Structure 1
């Protein structure tokens, strides 16, 4: 299964991420967090929701989410996804992945519609 958002492509079953066809190396936790933010893009996820979706039970608190979001943002920025790596902080609400935060040349691209099933099920 494949999920594409702008120039970002996530191969859920292979646990691979590419940006403009270049690989982006993510830890298993970062990968799970990215998948949670992309399902679907634009939806605000609270820290508690992200904990449930991307962390095993009893393995972290809300501040763990903040730390992992920061790390994920940096990796996506370094890969060329622009400031914030497409991840937007929604004050008092949580986080969301948004095409609006991508550089202008990327924001005009639409999701190609691949993989609308729930890829979180493939994360184990």
Structure 2
């Protein structure tokens, strides 16, 4: 099974525009802003099984990565936030990589310090 190249349509959904990598800045009323964090938000996907990774260049970051539980939106779709809890270093590129049954290949959203700093 699966050797003939045919794919089964599982009714999965992840739209590229619904994956965002951005800076998450903590702001206090009278305190200086906390260190920058990078947040990857994956919205409105189905089914719920999903894998989201942060990469620095081509290397997967396993430390300082915190994910929320997958949250049901109430319309059969789900959302997930994955936070990189270490300040991005200038001159390096960071990528949020999403793997899901609806994607033929991993979906990547790049965040470059040189452009968005």
Q: TM-score, normalised by structure 2?
A: 0.29
Question: Higher relative contact order by CA 8 Å / sep ≥ 6: 1 or 2?
Answer: 1
Q: TM-score, normalised by structure 1?
A: 0.28
**Structure with greater strand share of residues:** 2
Greater Rg, structure 1 or structure 2?
2
